[in-house]
């Protein structure tokens, strides 16, 4: 576990990362048009409360996240997200190699995890369809997050 956390930190600092918050005013989600970018509107359930400590958006090579991520797309400290305030995520300058990936996002809460979500505390979301990454802009639309349960 310690190696996993250290490896994630190394990968994180090796990538260019960017995240931005939605404004909660029913504006359309951010759209990516530039190469090597990915956009998604992240939403949480109406029962969500609290102030998240961190958000990580990742690519994995398997449908269910396991082991090291293939790429860390974005990290957003203390993201501004809530039931009436989606978070528009825009990851730019993605350096992942061309290939097939699965998008996964973890929203860490106080008392939860820092590199892996904690069951019943943190939130997670994913896109079940594979993404054929070739460096073209990707727009995922809405990605709902739910209270994390064992995969």
- Regions of the chain short of the pLDDT cut 70: 1-26, 151
Domain that holds residue 63: 2-147
How far, in Å, CA of 24 to CA of 94, rounded? 26
Q: What is the pLDDT of residues 82-115, one digit of tens each?
A: 999 999 999 999 999 999 999 999 999 999 999 9
Number of domains in the chain: 1
Range 99-126 burial, b when 16+ CB lie within 10 A, else e: eebbbbbbbbbeebbebebeeeebbbbb
How confident is the model at residue 29, as a pLDDT? 82
């Amino acid at each position: 576990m310690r190696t996993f956390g250290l490896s994630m930190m190394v990968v994180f600092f090796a990538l260019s990362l960017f995240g931005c918050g939605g404004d909660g005013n029913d504006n359309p989600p951010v759209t990516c048009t530039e190469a090597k970018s990915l956009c998604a509107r992240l939403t949480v359930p109406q029962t969500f409360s609290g102030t998240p400590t961190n958000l990580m958006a990742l690519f994995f090579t398997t449908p269910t996240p396991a082991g090291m991520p293939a790429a860390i797309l974005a990290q957003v400290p203390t993201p501004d997200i809530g039931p009436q305030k989606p978070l528009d995520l825009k990851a730019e300058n993605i350096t992942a190699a061309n290939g097939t990936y699965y998008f996964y996002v973890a929203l860490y809460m106080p008392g939860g995890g820092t590199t892996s979500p904690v069951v019943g505390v943190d939130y997670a979301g994913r896109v079940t369809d594979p993404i054929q990454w070739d460096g073209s802009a990707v727009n995922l639309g809405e990605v709902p997050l739910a209270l994390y349960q064992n995969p």
